[in-house]
Amino acid sequence: MAEIALEHITKRYDDGYEAVKDLNLDIADGEFMILVGPSGCGKSTALRMVAGLEDITDGELKIGGQVVNDKTPKDRDIAMVFQNYALYPHMTVRDNMGFALKLARTPKAEIAQKVNEAARILDLEQHLERKPANLSGGQRQRVAMGRAIVRNPSVFLMDEPLSNLDAKLRVQMRAEISRIQQRLKTTTVYVTHDQTEALTLGDRIAVMRAGVLQQVGAPMELYNRPNNLFVAGFIGSPAMNFLPAHIEGDVVKLPIGDVHIPDALRARLQAGPGGGRDGVIAGLRPDDFEDASLISGESAGTTFRTKIDVLESMGSEYYAYFTVEAEQVDARELQELAEEAGTTDLPGREGTQVVARLEAASHVRQGQEIELWFNAEHLHLFDPENGLSLLAE
Amino acid sequence: MSVKARQRTGWSLAFVVVVVVSLVPVFWLIMLSLKTPESATDGSFIPHHWTLHNYRDIFNQTVFTAALRNSIGIGLISTTLAVLLASSAAYAIARLDFPGKQTILAVALLVTLFPQVSLVGPLYNLWRQIGLFNTWPGLIIPYLTFALPLAIYVLSTFFREIPWELEQAAQIDGATPFQAFTKVIAPLAAPGLATTFIIVFLICWNDFVFAISLTATNAAKTVPAAIAQFPGVSQFTQPIGDIAAAAVVVTIPVMLLVLLFQRRIVAGLTAGAVKG
């Protein structure tokens, strides 16, 4: 058991490129910390520095209170699960899992007992004598987990361990990893580019972009109170809608209509950094929309009529796409997210497309006009200059 | 005939031609070795009288048995040393980024391009002066020189194909770099090591230039050199049968080696190391 402290950690390569810039992160003992971000954001590099596979250019890394900058991976008491599992192909599952113990000169009987125990937890008992080549992807993934578990390390490091599995198996293994972590209570650092994985797995999530830590917090905190455009756009699926807006007194003028600012929001806005500016970027989560006919009269919010261009039925809910007459919001952070998602190549269209998540009870039809309601209390407001949230925490 | 069937017939025909052309000399050699000395030059492909006389004859001559011993000994020692040295060099080249890496590879390649014949004269003089002439080390050293660059080249490609993560996984599992190499990388590179072993062994085994010039007696003379100097039964008979028999005998170990390692070479052990 150990806490991890990253203090001003920087990774600079010989060519001057900084993969990680002044990263400060405290991970509590037993915590499940997720490092998430688009590819190339430095999350894997950060993990590999914790593992000792990558030198730390600047800053201090402490595991269990001890500075481990110059320690080799084997002296850091960590176990790591690699993206491609990195199983030893010439060893059986049993030998793969017992390799670390064997190197540590653990007595044979103890190795066997620990491997059997891990195999039982991971449901690998009948595969112990097989070679990795004869296992399915999910089984290989579990062996990789098993190899980490048997050592009972003080820290688990996982580098996108589920990205090579197909979608269904990924969901299963996600739950499995969560279960194992809760059972073992081992400090875990988990790298992923998948925000769903981040939200579902982590005690806390650290969002990174271009080597810089953007925000750290519990999943709901990041979802409800993103502190900049990047985090807002990255966390949540479907992604947050962004619209240009103006603040005039107590009213936010949105392309979909005027929204009276609720008291709670006004308090946060006044306490926030942006104070009196008027041109802003408004963020609207798809979940904060609803079919107006399903909303009881008194809720704080605004209603507007729009034509639904495309309706996706998910069974338990609808995703309704409609177009708002407004310029596409243009911010560097959002540009980056679009590039990561590959949506920059999509044919341009007039106006801005907005997604709303509607209850299955709605009678919405594709191509028809409908009255939609939006929850003003959950409005997000961002500074178009620097992308920071205008709302206080 | 369909296009496909015609294609298949065409390919089969080409295949048969290639096999026949490449195997005829081998069979010729074998037939020759089974003829009696008198009928060696009678012009027939199949012997009239089958005999193992030539084989018995060469194994009764110390010229040949000593040469065989020298060939095997020198070949194995050179090869083992070359593979050991080359594997550590290749590992470094494949894994580490160090200044002069490209230079090392370039120089290594340069050595293989060097004409061996031009070295023989100077080496002959030098070896005589420092007492290496007609000794095992006298041949092992030049063999190493020419085998190492090739071995390094072949091995570094093999090492490069092994996923680096495996080594990092070993490091995390608590292995020292040496342990990671011996317990994880080397077993995976086994097909590569075997291939390199065979290639290097063949270079040493087949060498004629150094063997004929740097040896003089049974103490160090290898088979290719010895065969060329076989005495006839009398000074008027050609030792063709003996030469053929000796040639057959020296090709057997090579064939065995290839057959023995073929599966490992082809199999490729890395399957299943990473996602597949």
User: pLDDT at position B236, please?
Assistant: 63
For residues B201 and B257, the answer to whether their CB atoms sit within 8 Å is: yes
Rounded to the nearest angstrom, the minimum Cα separation between A135 and chain B is 8
Task: Please indicate whether, in this complex, the C-beta atoms of A74 and B174 are within 8 angstroms of each other.
Answer: yes
The interaxial angle of helices A137-149 and A108-122, nearest 10 deg, is 130
Three-state DSSP state, A6 = strand
Chain B residues in contact with A104 (beta carbon < 8 A): 174
Of A187, A210, A229, the domain-final residue:
A229
What domain range is A329 assigned to? Answer: 239-382
Of B172, B183, B188, the CB nearest to A78: B172
Closest chain B residue by Cα to residue A85 = B274
State whether A324 and A209 are in the same domain: no
Rounded to the nearest angstrom, the minimum Cα separation between B273 and chain A is 5
Whether the predicted pLDDT of B4 surpasses 60: yes
Residue B136, H or E segment: helix B136-161
Of B163, B171, B183, the CB nearest to A73: B171
The pLDDT tens digits for B191-225 are: 788 888 888 888 898 898 999 999 988 888 998 88
**In chain A, how many domains are there?**
2
Of A229, A261, A282, the domain-final residue:
A229
Chain B residues in contact with A133 (beta carbon < 8 A): 271-272, 276
Distance CA A266, CA A272 (A): 10
Amino acid at B170: A
Residue A187, H or E segment: strand A187-192
User: pLDDT at position B276, please?
Assistant: 34
Chain B residues in contact with A82 (beta carbon < 8 A): 165, 168-169
Q: Which site among A82, A165, A189 would you substitute to test the B interface, given the most B Cβ atoms closer than 10 Å to its Cβ?
A: A82
Chain B residues in contact with A132 (beta carbon < 8 A): 272-273
Whether the predicted pLDDT of B273 surpasses 70: no
Please, which residues bridge with residue A7 across strands? A60
CATH number of the domain encompassing residue A80: 3.40.50.300
| Those residues with Cβ within 8 angstroms of residue B13's Cβ, 6 or more apart along the chain or in another chain | none
Cβ neighbours of B214 (radius 10 Å): 24
Q: Both tokens of residue B84?
A: 């050991």
Task: Please indicate whether, in this complex, the C-beta atoms of B174 and A100 are within 8 angstroms of each other.
Answer: yes
Rg of chain A in Å (alpha carbons):
24
Task: Please indicate whether, in this complex, the C-beta atoms of A74 and B187 are within 8 angstroms of each other.
Answer: no
In a domain, A392, yes or no: no
The interaxial angle of helices B101-113 and B136-161, nearest 10 deg, is 130
State whether A143 and A76 are in the same domain: yes
B272 interface with A at CB cutoff 8 Å: yes
B179 interface with A at CB cutoff 8 Å: yes
State whether A87 and A213 are in the same domain: yes
Burial class (CB in 10 A: 0-12, 13-18, 19+), A276: exposed
Label residues A1-34 b or e (16+ Cβ within 10 Å = b): ebbbbbeebbbbeeeeebbbbebebebeebbbbb
Q: Both tokens of residue A83?
A: 């993206």
Distance CA A142, CA A87 (A): 11
Chain A residues in contact with B166 (beta carbon < 8 A): 86, 88
In a domain, A389, yes or no: no
A135 interface with B at CB cutoff 8 Å: yes
Closest chain A residue by Cα to residue B185 = A88
State whether A207 and A251 are in the same domain: no
For residues A256 and A371, the answer to whether their CB atoms sit within 8 Å is: no
Whether cis (ω within 30° of 0) applies to the bond prior to A238 is yes
- The CA distances from residue B89 to A281, B37, B65, B94, B197, in Å, are 59, 50, 36, 9, 15
Q: Both tokens of residue B105?
A: 């590879």
Domains delineated in chain B: 62-229 (1.10.3720.10)
Higher-confidence residue: A197 or B45? A197
In a domain, A234, yes or no: no
Whether the predicted pLDDT of B257 surpasses 80: no
Of A204, A229, A254, the domain-final residue:
A229
State whether A197 and A277 are in the same domain: no
Whether the predicted pLDDT of B270 surpasses 50: no
Q: If chain A, 393 residues long, is cut into consecutive pieces of 10 residues, what is the mean pLDDT of each piece?
A: 90 92 94 92 93 92 92 90 91 94 93 93 91 90 92 92 88 90 92 92 93 94 92 91 88 88 86 72 92 78 89 92 84 78 66 89 89 90 88 79
Confidence bin at B269 (pLDDT 50/70/90): very low
State whether A119 and A186 are in the same domain: yes
- The CA distances from residue A13 to A23, A108, A174, A332, B164, in Å, are 16, 43, 33, 25, 19
Size of interface A-B (CB pairs under 8 A): 84
